[in-house]
Amino acid sequence: MDDRTVLVLNGPNLNLLGEREPEVYGHDTLADVERLCTEAAARYGLTVDFRQSNHEGTLVDWVQEGRSGTAGIVLNAGGYTHTSVALRDAVSAARVPCVEVHISDIHAREEFRRFSYLSDVCDHHVIGHGVAGYAEAVDWLAGQRRQA
């Protein structure tokens, strides 16, 4: 990874995108999301390192890997959004901009999804815009580079 790489991290159950609760998360698969991100990044001469894990510690390791020297991190932490102090601490230690993404509108769902441990440590949020939100997150990170 280098400063032209956007690290896109996906948390638990996002490997099931397209099959899992399509009425909430839509019909696109994670491979479709990777394609969206890659195309968005390419418009700015950026590349994407796209990953998914069901394991909290792996996500922490990956945030640490991308915390400096990259163009930024796009993070959909799935269920860990609402539970993980460890992931919050990792994001808090990042020196690059971080964007919190959620496919669904977490504020319009169950009460327990309304709180995010990540919201105040992330620099930008794209919530409830479907999978297109990932491309918006990449666009935002590219915009930050132009301003820097």
Beta carbon nearer to ligand DHK, 51 or 113: 113
Q: Is 44 a catalytic residue?
A: no
Interatomic CA distance for residues 11 and 129, integer angstroms: 18
Catalytic residue among 25, 80, 117, 134: 25
Reduced to 3 states (helix: H, G, I; strand: E, B; else coil), residue 81 is helix
Beta carbon nearer to ligand DHK, 1 or 16: 16
Q: Are strands 72-76 and 47-52 parallel, antiparallel or unpaired?
A: unpaired
In the complex, the smallest distance separating the C-beta of residue 69 from ligand DHK, rounded to whole angstroms, is 27
- Tell me how crowded residue 7 is: count the other CB atoms within 10 A of its CB: 24
In the complex, the smallest distance separating the C-beta of residue 65 from ligand DHK, rounded to whole angstroms, is 22
- Between the CA of residue 37 and those of 27, 61, 114, 115, what are the distances in Å? 17, 21, 26, 26
Catalytic residue among 27, 44, 55, 102: 102
Q: Is 102 a catalytic residue?
A: yes
- Tell me how crowded residue 49 is: count the other CB atoms within 10 A of its CB: 17
Beta carbon nearer to ligand DHK, 53 or 81: 81
Beta carbon nearer to ligand DHK, 90 or 103: 103
In the complex, the smallest distance separating the C-beta of residue 112 from ligand DHK, rounded to whole angstroms, is 8
Reduced to 3 states (helix: H, G, I; strand: E, B; else coil), residue 144 is helix
Residues of the shown chain interacting with ligand DHK in the complex, contacts defined by CB under 6 A: 13, 76, 78-79, 81, 102-104, 106, 113
Mind telling me the catalytic residues?
A: 25, 102
